[in-house]
Amino acid sequence: MINSSKDNPIGIFDSGIGGTSIWKEINSLLPNEDTFYLSDSINAPYGQKTKEEILNLSIKNTEYLIQKKCKIIVVACNTATTNAIKYLRKNYNIPFIGIEPAIKPASLHTKTNTIGILATKGTLNSELFEKTSSTISNNIHIIEQIGEGLVELIEAGQIESEEIKFLLNKHLQPMIDQKIDYLVLGCTHYPYLIKSIKEIVGESIKIIDSGEAVAKQTKNILAQQGLLKLKSLGLPFSIFYTNKDKKVLEKLLKDSSPTSIKKIDF
């Protein structure tokens, strides 16, 4: 294990700004922890890339956070988790927390036996997603939908644009027609669309994502490894690095008071 102490920060990365939805959960559950967030926005979306490209970018992000002396790395990206976490766990001596679409809980609670999942192409086509889907009972019908175009618009800060609402309608209507009662958000960018999604799917379809579960798992693993920081002497820091324009991150984090948002060449 890399020589870590409780005082080292938690490292979090995503292809872009979507993983801040996970950072918010982690920061609220673990308020004493310092955090470094890496947004590889220049390379977003990962969802359209090959497995090899996603793997190489995930390695680069991991090494950046290791060099920042992070004690644990949260892969706050379904696409990177499903394509790279196996490799990362095998090759780096540091705990990793990943995020996968919550199809399992949805399949256990559905009454219509039909659930929908909205995720990137890279996630839906991954071996890990296929493996997880194969553990779901055959009685459950899973409707998979690639969220074509959504990540690009979110990265451009167009969260409530007409264009995004048009795309959401197009992606979600077939699922509504097939009577899903659970919609799984399989991309960390999508929680930012919940308001618009609710306007389309209504109250009877439940929306679930894995953010809270990831924060709990991060806490459990830190506790198990003796790395949980229970008290902070000063004010904990939260530093965000992005290799693209800072503006969208600043807007998303305006209520979270980050310590700083820095533009880096990466």
Q: Name the residues that contact ligand DGL, by CB under 6 A.
A: 14-16, 18, 44-47, 77-79, 120, 123, 151, 187-189
CB of 21 to ligand DGL, least distance (A): 9
Cβ-Cβ contacts under 8 Å for 7 (sequence gap 6 or more): 34, 229
Sheet holding 72-75, edge to edge: 96-97, 72-75, 10-14, 35-39, 238-242, 260-263
The one catalytic residue in 10, 17, 77, 167 is 77
Q: How far apart are CA 97 and CA 75, in angstroms?
A: 6
| Residue 11: strand pairing partners | 36, 73
Instruction: Report the residue number, 9 or 101, with the smaller CB distance to ligand DGL.
Output: 101
Structural contact between residues 135 and 225, judged by C-beta atoms closer than 8 angstroms: no
CB of 128 to ligand DGL, least distance (A): 12
Instruction: Report the residue number, 120 or 218, with the smaller CB distance to ligand DGL.
Output: 120
CB of 77 to ligand DGL, least distance (A): 4
Determine whether 77 is an active site residue.
Answer: yes
CB of 218 to ligand DGL, least distance (A): 16
- The token pair that represents 133 in the structure block: 């889907």
Determine whether 187 is an active site residue.
Answer: yes
The one catalytic residue in 84, 172, 180, 187 is 187
Task: Name the DSSP letter for residue 179.
Answer: T
Instruction: Report the residue number, 4 or 61, with the smaller CB distance to ligand DGL.
Output: 61
Point out the residues that are catalytic: 77, 187
